[in-house]
Amino acid sequence: MIRLENLYSFLESVFDYLLVVDGEERVVHAGRILARDSLSEAGFTAGTRLRDILSPPSLSSFRSAMAQSRAGGRTSAVLARPGEAPVSIHLNAGCGRTDGGDVFLFFGNRLRPFSEVQDWEKNERIKELSCLYDVAEWIEVSGSIGEFFTGLSRIISVAMLYPGEAIVHSVYQGVEYGQRPASPGGISARIVVGGKEKGEIRVGYHDAERQLLPEEQRMLDEIGRMLSLSLERKELREEIGRRTADLDEQKRQLSLVNSYIDSVKGGWEGSKATLEAMFQAIPDEVVLIDNHRKVVMTNRADVPPGTPCYESVFGRETPCEDCRLARILHEKTPVTVTMKRDDRFLQVQAIPIYNKKQKVDGIMEFYRDVTLEKTYEQQLQQADKLASLGQLVSGIGHEINNPNQFIRGNIRIVKQSLEDLLPIVEEYAASHPDLKVAKLNYDFWRRHIMTLVDDMDHGSQRIKEIVEGLRTFARKDEGLLVDTIDINTLIGASARLVHNEVHKHADIELDLADGLPAFRGNAQKIEQVLVNLLVNAGQAMQDDVRGLITVRTRLEERDIRVDIEDNGAGMNEKTQKQIFDPFFTTKRAKGGTGLGLAIVYRILEEHGGTISVRSRPGAGTTFTIRIPARPPGKAGA
């Protein structure tokens, strides 16, 4: 018989935070991480009412989420305990119905937005991720418990802020590994196996003045959690030969749900209804599949039971090449893989379902959307590329500018020399009608020579302007709003900067009003806004028609208004509502990150300005920027 506490334990391995509440706002179950991180000071126990442990705003958000999820909507709540500086946790919400009433499931994972991460924090995050990867790999390849804990000290030390001074001490089943810290301070993580504490990992520094970061504590918590799960699986495998009867009971808890519904009576009916309600309340996709690849149960309304999983879930005519069922039938162990479906990345966790004879009777698969995490990883790589590009642009600009200075200086001398020599040559040519210069008839040469010199002069000047534009674009941004900005001058510089990119698809036409007031801001950031919008407009052009991009400026009351209009493909209403969302892009297949317009929106918000869009499919798009001539706040704020 499936016990709910085992289902709770499984769900806690999928979600960082888990909270189950009944219709009377009483706590049914809370995950260990949630109780430890947020509610340990609030007397949190099963049966406690939400009003006794949550702040009033948090309680209001829970009640609103319960009402919306009861109506079938997807929503979330903010968990915060009472206090002047509460710790807030955002939890997704879902509702299921049972014979005993509604059951509400609140869950979530810990995640920070990429835009809030500073450069040094990025480096620490990279070290943390590398450490977690190394620990996971070391768990698999180490030959024994002793070998694993001996090597663990080195892996964790490398990930700390001061690696050379870190002390890592581990205890497992009474055996100590590594050096014991001299002082009782530092950070620690428990090793819990099968519900029993069997050890601890403690990290500190030789120098007691060294401060340990919250991120390092979270990393250590994750390592402890990984290690606890791995050791629990190892002990479970070792128990197969010694405790067959107990293992039968545990494995039956993961057997197909519908194989027990008709056979179990009495008190099981209430548990069954609760289980089904929780199953439907999980917003992530969950599918039960038998060993014939038929769907047994799912919380997806568009997947009917009895259909082949590869057909109804993945839209394929044949089984998947990396079929998890085939692997589990062969290996008899859970499988976790990351796969791509359409434009989303999914983390698939597949676990075996056993029958009474200890045969694999099917699998249960959880599909978690990890597109955001994948995008963060890609953005870290992109940030490194952009940093290298900035250095490259600065160096190339310097190398181009030096010889161009010689060209500009020499062209002036050549032009003045020709102006002095032409009267002499004219007099000579009058008496020598067959005169040729550079193998050209004199009359033809005379009509065009000054035009050629002027063209060289203009070309050299254009090289100078392009190099200056590149230097400005690549210059390190200090983020201060201290520049005095002439918007028309900045538009001209931006148009020159993107000329080669945009000219492939469209022409740029400038309609700039005279006498616009200057405003205070960050010139580099405003130039980034203009460059981004101009490049986007060029990329929006239809293939069979050469496009036109028109940039207009004017003073509208106390705002400087800039319209960037194109006659490209346009956008539908749904796309217009999402274009300023981080990571939303219609160009992902071409390498688009979905950050460009989100950054534009943020930069204009910093300047006290706004951006809006008007578009129709097939009729083009117009972005409108409004910036106050005197933005609010002090300069540099």
Sign of the Cα pseudo-torsion (265, 267, 273, 278, in order): negative
Q: What are phi and psi of 370, to 5 degrees?
A: -115, 25
Residue found by looking up tokens 């126990």 in the block: 45
Q: Can you tell me whether residue 507 is helix, strand or coil?
A: strand
Q: What is the pLDDT of residue 488?
A: 92
Give the model's confidence band at 193: pLDDT under 50 very low, under 70 low, under 90 confident, else very high.
confident
Q: What is the mean pLDDT of residues 503-517?
A: 89
CATH topology agreement for domains 255-271+278-369 and 477-637? no
Give the model's confidence band at 623: pLDDT under 50 very low, under 70 low, under 90 confident, else very high.
very high
Q: Can you tell me whether residue 495 is helix, strand or coil?
A: helix
Q: What is the pLDDT of residue 561?
A: 94
Q: Which CATH number, 3.30.450.20, 3.30.1330.60, 2.60.40.10, 3.30.750.24, labels domain 4-108?
A: 3.30.450.20
Domain ranges of the chain: 4-108, 114-238, 255-271+278-369, 370-475, 477-637
Contacts 24+ apart (CB under 8 A), 386-391: 389/474, 390/474, 390/476, 391/474
Does the pTM surpass 0.75? The reply is no
Distance of alpha carbon 198 from alpha carbon 373, whole angstroms: 32
Q: What is the pLDDT of residues 109-149, one digit of tens each?
A: 765 444 444 555 556 666 777 777 788 778 777 778 888 88
Q: With 70 as the cut, is the pLDDT of residue 49 above it?
A: yes
Distance of alpha carbon 230 from alpha carbon 224, whole angstroms: 10
Q: Say which CATH class 255-271+278-369 falls into.
A: alpha beta
Residue 244's identity, in one-letter code, is T
Q: Which CATH architecture has domain 114-238?
A: 2-Layer Sandwich (3.30)
287 CA to centre of own chain: 26
Beta strands 285-290 and 295-298, pairing class:
antiparallel
Q: How far is CA 251 from CA 101, 195, 304, 328, 360, in A?
A: 29, 17, 27, 15, 10
Q: Which CATH number, 3.40.50.11540, 3.30.70.1450, 3.30.565.10, 3.30.300.30, labels domain 477-637?
A: 3.30.565.10
Of 68-72, 415-419, 475-479, least confident by mean pLDDT is 475-479
